[in-house]
Amino acid sequence: MEREGASPLVHLVIILTCLVWILPTLGLLVSSVRPAHDVAATGWWTVLRNPFDLTQYTLQNYREVLGAAGMGRAFVNSLIITIPATLLTIGIAAFAAFAFAWFQFPGRDALFLVVVGLLVVPLQMTLIPILRLYSRLGLAGTFVGIWLAHVGYGLPFAIYLLRNFFGSLPADLFESAFIDGASPLTAFFRLALPLSVPALASLGIFQFLWVWNDLLVGLIYLGGSPSVAPLTVRLSTLVGSYGQSWHLLTAAAFVSMAVPMAVFFALQRYFVRGILAGAVKG
């Protein structure tokens, strides 16, 4: 691609910003593999004097946070919470989005405006009534309760994104299918879904990261009990109880970030595409 050329100042600004953005994470990563007394006594940057001296690194911190500190259990909980919450949201949203895009029914446009409005409702507005309902139904502190909550909270964005994508598919495609006698279900499964794999992937990554990284919903509906708490909730508890034990906090934080970072590096393109499609265009 043709570039318009850059002065040294441009390079300086970009490189400085990149340093500010990457050094905090690098510090976390380095500290998480240093022995406790080193982390407490000297800054993480001291390893840079001799970065290849492997004797200064250890995996002990990870052993400790995954075991005794409960981050291993929390990791499993996060997977148990995130995977069904993601799949359910996409499934339910896809059906609704298809109807909003291609079916004609009274009140369709008004209903969709409501969905657009619900996009920005603060979760705080919903916590008290749902928690009360959950206490009555015995859903507080259960995985089922949090799956359903994440579906509810994730749907507006999911429907919005998919409806816009389905709507951009060529109309002739569906019209001719209907004339040929295809049922709405066939059109949905045989035409719309296969043509929407990129959009579904973007949405899947989005919802996955959203649920994985969520703190508030987990905190409210699951509580702090280690048997069900996801990584974010567990990590925030550790911040309170470990205080200045930076060797453990850094390792625990990295455990909570490993999956999102892997997803990010492997699927960045879809992630970006989802962000671009999700912003309400001006």
Partner 1 sequence: MRVSRSWTWSFVAPALFFLGLYLVYPTLATIHTSFLDRHGEGWVGLTNYVYAFTSPAMRTAFRNNLLWMVVFTTVTVGLGLLLAVLTDRVRYEGVAKSIIFLPMAVSFVGAGVIWKFVYAYNPPGANQIGLLNQIVVALGGEPVGWLLEQPWVNNLALIMVGIWIWTGFAMVILSAAYKGIPKELKEAARVDGASEWQLFWHVSLPYIQSTIAVVATTMIINVLKIFDIVYVMTNGNFGTEVLANRMYKEMFQFRNFGRAGAVAVILFLAILPLMLLNIHRFRRQEVER
**Is residue 124 part of the contact set for partner 1 (CB under 8 A)?**
yes
Q: Residue from 98, 134, 147, 165 that binds partner 1 (CB under 8 A)?
A: 98
Q: Residue from 48, 59, 197, 272 that binds partner 1 (CB under 8 A)?
A: 272
HSE-CB of 125 using CA atoms within 13 angstroms = 6
Q: Smallest distance from the beta carbon of 6 to partner 1, in angstroms? A: 4
Give the binding range for partner 1 (CB under 8 A) out of 53-61, 68-76, 182-190, 193-201.
182-190
HSE-CB of 154 using CA atoms within 13 angstroms = 32
Residues contacting partner 1: total by CB under 8 A: 105
Residue carrying structure tokens 């309400």 = 280
Residue carrying structure tokens 């409501």 = 114
Nearer to partner 1, 207 or 256 (CB): 256
Q: Smallest distance from the beta carbon of 16 to partner 1, in angstroms? A: 11
Give the binding range for partner 1 (CB under 8 A) out of 61-69, 139-147, 192-200, 245-253.
245-253
Give the binding range for partner 1 (CB under 8 A) out of 18-26, 47-55, 59-67, 194-202.
18-26
Q: Residue from 69, 71, 199, 235 that binds partner 1 (CB under 8 A)?
A: 235
Q: Residue from 16, 43, 137, 197 that binds partner 1 (CB under 8 A)?
A: 43
Comparing CA positions, the residue from 96, 110, 74, 229 lying closest to residue 155 is: 96
**Is residue 23 part of the contact set for partner 1 (CB under 8 A)?**
yes
Q: Please tell me the total number of residues recorded for the chain in this structure.
A: 282
In 145-184, which positions are buried (b, 16+ CB within 10 angstroms) versus exposed (e)? bbbbbbbbbbbbbbbbbbbbbbeebeeeebeebeeeebeb
Q: Show the tokens assigned to 197.
A: 């794999």
* Binding to partner 1 in span 143-172, by CB under 8 A: 148-149, 151-153, 155-156, 159
**Is residue 130 part of the contact set for partner 1 (CB under 8 A)?**
yes
Q: What is the DSSP string of 25-54?
A: HHHHHHHHTS-HHHHHHS-GGGGGGSTT-G
Residue 104, Cβ neighbours under 10 Å: how many? 6
**Is residue 252 part of the contact set for partner 1 (CB under 8 A)?**
yes
Q: Smallest distance from the beta carbon of 143 to partner 1, in angstroms? A: 16
8 Å CB contact between 232 and 256:
yes
In 43-72, which positions are buried (b, 16+ CB within 10 angstroms) versus exposed (e)? ebeebeeeeeeeebebeebbebbbeebbbb
Compute the distance between CA of residue 28 and CA of residue 75 in angstroms, rounded to an integer: 19
**Is residue 6 part of the contact set for partner 1 (CB under 8 A)?**
yes
Q: Residue from 104, 170, 181, 194 that binds partner 1 (CB under 8 A)?
A: 104
* Binding to partner 1 in span 61-90, by CB under 8 A: none
Nearer to partner 1, 93 or 203 (CB): 93
Nearer to partner 1, 209 or 228 (CB): 209
Give the binding range for partner 1 (CB under 8 A) out of 49-57, 66-74, 137-145, 235-243.
235-243
